[in-house]
Amino acid sequence: MEIVKENGPITGEHIADKLNLTRATLRPDLAILTMAGYLDARPRVGYFYTGKTGIQLLADKLKKLVVKDYQSMPVVVHENVSVYDAIVTIFLEDVGTLFVTDDNHHLAGVLSRKDLLRASLGKQELSTLPVNIIMTRMPNITMCKKEDLLIDVAKKLIDVQIDAVPVVKETDSGYEVIGRLTKTNITKAFVALGDQGEKLT
């Protein structure tokens, strides 16, 4: 990196000369530095120093992560399902948030753990109380699209103080639920970024 910083743009061959190494020996190292973003390579020009710090490079990487690579399968219930059945579904499917759809399979609402706990505190009969009475309903649903940036969805989760958003596809008549993006998905992305960094050092 020092050599490139002082002499760039410089060809791989010239760098190898300066280090008394062969081009082939140097190739994997240059590939790693280029992949990590510290150096850039232009064909027939050579390597040059990008001037980016580690934290800038990490931010660049983070801003390239998109929802579709990290989303999970959505767990969906119909709006007429009882609160009792929704609670059973949350346990069986091992999720914290359910998405609620209407007869047209369009997004109608969201049910969180606390929504279900709150309903359970009341005197109502849970097996006859439909979830559409207690859910957070459209149009007050925060959602995202599969091509959205993960960082933007993470900011939304913080701003609105929620654990999950449905990944939706907009149609003429409503929103179709195609995925689920949760704090867990974002934590996994965070860990994957950290692991990538380890591989490069």
Footprint on this chain of ligand ADP (rule: CB under 6 A): 96-97, 110, 112-115, 136, 140-142, 161-165
Q: Which of the 8 DSSP states describes residue 112? A: E
Q: Please say which residue, 16 or 144, places its beta carbon nearer to ligand ADP.
A: 144
Q: Closer to ligand ADP at the Cβ: 10 or 119?
A: 119
> Least distance (Å) from ligand ADP to the CB of residue 172?
22
CB 47 within 8 A of CB 41: yes
Q: How far apart are CA 178 and CA 59, in angstroms?
A: 28
Hey, what amino acid is at 78? H
Q: How far is the CB of 143 from ligand ADP (least distance, A)?
A: 6
Closer by beta carbon to ligand ADP, 33 or else 108:
108
State the Cα–Cα distance between residues 118 and 95, nearest whole angstrom. 17
For residues 109 and 132, the answer to whether their CB atoms sit within 8 Å is yes
Q: How is the chain split among helix, strand and coil, in percent rounded to 5?
A: 45, 25, 30
Nearest C-alpha neighbor of 181 from the set 120, 102, 99? 99
Cβ closest to ligand ADP, residue 16 vs residue 98: 98
Q: Which is nearer to ligand ADP, 113 or 146 (CB)?
A: 113
Give the residue at shortest CB distance from ligand ADP: 114
Question: Which residues, 6+ apart, have CB-to-CB distance to 104 below 8 Å?
Answer: 173, 174
Q: How far is the CB of 134 from ligand ADP (least distance, A)?
A: 9
